[in-house]
């Protein structure tokens, strides 16, 4: 299969506007080649440091600029985080993701705790992912030495729409963070959010930036806005589930071997819409009860969903070792 990094925005917008049946057919051909056996990775996400973030992201209930700020919860210690990771593994998760509501990583004791969590999660046989804002080259190197599998740093939207969503960090700063992660040899987890008032051209612009990164991000989360009261986007109309399916399908066509993750907003989808997204090329779901500060389908419902779709969960390193 030819993997391209030279997609134009016009090509991508044309894909997004294909008749749905034609788009799904193209995505299926790519997905069945890239993912023989049709396996889905289960990822669990835990908020380690919640609320009080200096960023002004219009969608986020953890921003100190928004009345929805959920600050006041104590930062979790290493031991309880690893207990949650162990529970996630026992529930079938393959990847454990940890989030810190920071603009950039804090050195000192908080960073040392982060490194201990990464080492502990890896010792459990799970992939470890961290999202904690911007970071330095030295911090990236130390995270790599601790065994970090992937660093999540989403672009959120197109370069043109970005300033309407965030003003406290530039798009270029986000791209520079991705470059630091790459230089350290850590996998990239980078995607965006739809339903924030963007156009189809904006969606194509986001996908173009992602699809022209060389190599492609190993993980591409496709989120739908969860309109939280107290955020500037609280009155945003929910995105049509078919539009989410279209984003998944086009991401699969553009980035054949990346993990395309159904992420925030999944609880708003019917099981039929989620099955359609799996058909379109999603090969990972966030699994469990909470995504940072918003809800997520419960574990038993997720298991039933995968059984209905006839897809298998990917085994963790610990399971393969048994």
Which residues are catalytic, by number? Answer: 53, 57, 60, 97, 129, 189, 261
CA distance 125 to 320: 9
Q: 193 and 154 in contact (C-beta within 8 Å)? A: yes
Residues with Cβ within 8 Å of residue 213, at least 6 apart in sequence: 5, 178, 188, 190
What are the structure tokens assigned to 63, written together?
């921003």
Tell me which residue of 224, 312, 203 sits closest to 273, measured CA to CA: 224
Task: Take residue 52 and report the two structure tokens written for it.
Answer: 């009080």
* Selection from 178, 230, 186 nearest residue 71 by Cα: 230
Question: 270: left (phi > 0), else alpha (psi -120 to 50), else beta?
Answer: beta
Which residue in the block uniquely carries the two structure tokens 């159904």? 262
Q: Are 250 and 32 in contact (CB under 8 A)?
A: no
CA-to-CA dists, residue 5 to 244, 255, 264, angstroms: 23, 9, 27
Number of helical (H) and strand (E) elements in the chain, helices listed first = 11, 12
Hey, how many other C-beta atoms are within 10 angstroms of the C-beta on 214?
9
């Amino acid at each position: 299969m030819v993997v391209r990094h030279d997609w134009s925005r016009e090509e991508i917008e044309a894909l997004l506007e294909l008749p749905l049946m034609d788009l799904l057919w193209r995505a299926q051909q790519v997905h069945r080649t890239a993912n023989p056996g049709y396996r889905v990775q289960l990822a669990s996400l835990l908020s380690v440091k919640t609320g009080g973030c200096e960023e002004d992201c219009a969608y986020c209930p953890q921003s100190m600029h928004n009345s929805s700020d959920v600050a006041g919860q104590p930062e979790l210690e290493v031991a309880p985080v690893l207990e949650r990771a162990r529970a996630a593994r026992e529930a079938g998760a393959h990847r454990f993701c940890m989030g810190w509501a920071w603009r950039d990583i804090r050195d000192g004791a908080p960073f040392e705790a982060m490194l201990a969590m990464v080492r502990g999660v890896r010792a459990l046989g799970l992939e470890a992912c961290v999202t904690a804002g911007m970071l330095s080259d030295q911090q990236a190197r130390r995270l790599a030495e601790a065994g970090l599998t992937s660093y999540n740093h989403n672009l959120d939207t197109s370069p043109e729409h970005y300033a309407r969503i965030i003003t406290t960090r530039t798009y270029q700063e986000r791209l520079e963070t991705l470059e630091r992660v790459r230089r350290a040899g850590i996998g990239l987890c980078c995607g965006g959010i739809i339903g924030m008032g963007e156009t189809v051209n904006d969606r194509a612009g986001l996908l173009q930036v992602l699809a022209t990164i060389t190599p492609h991000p190993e993980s591409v989360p496709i989120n739908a806005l969860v309109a939280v009261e107290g955020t500037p986007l609280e009155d945003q109309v929910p995105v049509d589930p078919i539009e989410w399916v279209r984003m998944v399908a086009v991401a699969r066509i553009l980035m054949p071997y990346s993990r395309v993750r159904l992420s925030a907003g999944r609880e708003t989808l019917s099981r039929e819409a989620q099955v359609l997204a799996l058909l379109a090329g999603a090969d990972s779901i966030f699994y469990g009860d909470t995504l940072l500060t918003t809800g997520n389908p419960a574990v038993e419902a997720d298991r039933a969903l995968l059984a209905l779709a006839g897809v298998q969960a990917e085994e963790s390193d610990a399971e393969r070792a048994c």
